Structure 1
Amino acid sequence: MPSSTIRRQMKNMVNNYSDAEKKVRESTSNDPWGPSSSLMSEVADLTYNVVAFSEIMSMIWRRLNDHGKNWRHVYKALTLLDYLVKTGSERVALQCKENIFAIQTLKDFQYVDRDGKDQGVNVREKSKQLVVLLKDEERLKGERSQALKTKERMAQVSTGGTQVGFGRGSSQPNLSTSYSEEYGRSEGSPASYHGCE
C-alpha cells in the first residue's frame, strides 16, 4: 500500500470524515493517477442523498481552494465536478452555477513544478471547459441525457439485462426544482464555506 494512501487513511480517521468525504478525498488525492470511473460513479450516486451531497460539495470546494504542489487536488476536483455535473444530482450543477466564480478564478491557476513543467495548464483548461458547460443550458441537458443513457446501459450489462432505473422516473428523487426553493443557497458551497453570502 503506498504511503500516500496510508497517510490519507490516517487523516480520514483523525478528522472523522464520512464515507462520502473519504470517497471525494480518494478521488481528488495527490496520487499521480486520475480518479477511477467506478469511484466517481459511487460519489455521483451519493449526491442524491441530501446529507452526503452537502459533505461531497463541501470537500470539493475545499479541494478547489488548494494551490501550489497540491495542484492535483484542484485538477482532480474539477474532473470529479465535471463528472458529477453530468451524472450526479441536478443539485450539483445548480450549486456550481450559483458559485461559478469559484470555478472561473481557476482559469488563472499557476503552478510550475521543480522540473519547470507548467502543471497549472491542466487546471486552467479544465476550469474553462467546465464553465462553458455550466453556461450552456442546452449542452448541459444533452450531456446529462447522454450520461444517463450510458449509465443505464452499463447497469443493464452488469445486471444481465435487468432494468435498473436512474434519474427521472426512478426511485431516486428529482429534487432540483424544490431543492433550491426549500433550502435556498446550498450548504457546503464556497459562499457558506467562507462564511459569506
Structure 2
Amino acid sequence: SKNYAKGFSEVQRKVRESTSNDPWGPSGTSMNEIAQLTFNKQDFLEIMDMIDKRLNDKGKHWRHVFKALLLLDYCIHVGSENVVVYSKGNLYVIKTLGEFQHIDEQGKDVGANGRLKYIY
C-alpha cells in the first residue's frame, strides 16, 4: 500500500485511512481510536500534522478535506484538550474551510457538505 511505501508511521496510516478518498466516511471506531491517541504527546503531533496536510488538499482530493474536518471535529469533542488548543491556534485554517467549495464530475457542489458541517 501507498502508506507503507512512503514510510508513514502507524498513527499517520490510521489518519490517512480515515481521511482517504473512498466514498464512505471514517468509521466511528477508527475516529475514536485516533481521538484516544491524541492523549499521547508524540501521537498527537503526528495526528495533527496529518490532519493539517489533509485540510490543505485541493480539488479532486476534496474528500480528504471533508473527512479531515469530520475527524478534527470528533477529536475536539472526544480527544485531548491539546486538540482544542491546537484548533484555536489554527482557526484561520478552519475558517477558510468554511468557504470550502468543490464541484465534482456530476456538477454537484460537494463542498456544501463541509460548509454545513462547519456552520453547525
Q: CA deviation at 1:106?
A: 1.0
Mapping 1:149-188, distance limit 5 Å: none
Q: 1: CA distance between counterparts of 2:114 and 2:59?
A: 12
SS at match of 2:31: helix
Q: How much has 1:100 moved relative to structure 2?
A: 0.4
Between the aligned partners of 2:97 and 2:61, the Cα distance in structure 1 is 14
Q: Quick one: which of 7, 29, 32 aligns to 2:23?
A: 32
| Aligned partner of residue 98 in structure 2, secondary structure | helix
2:7 to 16, 22, 27: 16
Take 2:104 and 2:98, find their aligned partners in 1: how far apart are those partners?
Answer: 18
Question: Within 5 A, what are the aligned runs for 1:37-186?
Answer: 37-129=28-120
Instruction: Quote the RMSD (CA, aligned, Å).
Output: 0.9
Contact 1:104–1:128 (CA under 8 A) maintained in structure 2? no
Residue segments in structure 2 that go unaligned for 5+ positions in a row: none
Matches of 2:78 and 2:48, distance apart in 1: 14
* Structure 1 residue ranges (4+ consecutive) displaced by more than 6 angstroms after TM superposition: none
1:10-32 per-residue CA deviation (whole Å, 9 max, x = no partner) reads 22112211111011001101101
Residue 140 of structure 1 corresponds to which residue in structure 2?
none
Structure 1 residue 110, shift from structure 2 partner: 1.6
Within 1, Cα distance between the matches of 2:81 and 2:119?
20
1:108 match: secondary structure: coil
CA contact (8 A) 1:47 1:56 kept: yes
Larger-gyration structure (1/2): 1
Name the SS of the counterpart of 1:72 in structure 2. helix
Q: What whole-Å deviation, never above 9, does each CA across 1:57-98 have from its counterpart, x for those lacking one?
A: 000000000111111100100000010000000100100001
Distance in 2, Cα, partners of 1:12 & 1:29: 11
Q: Give the TM-score normalised by structure 1.
A: 0.59
How many correspondences in the alignment? 120
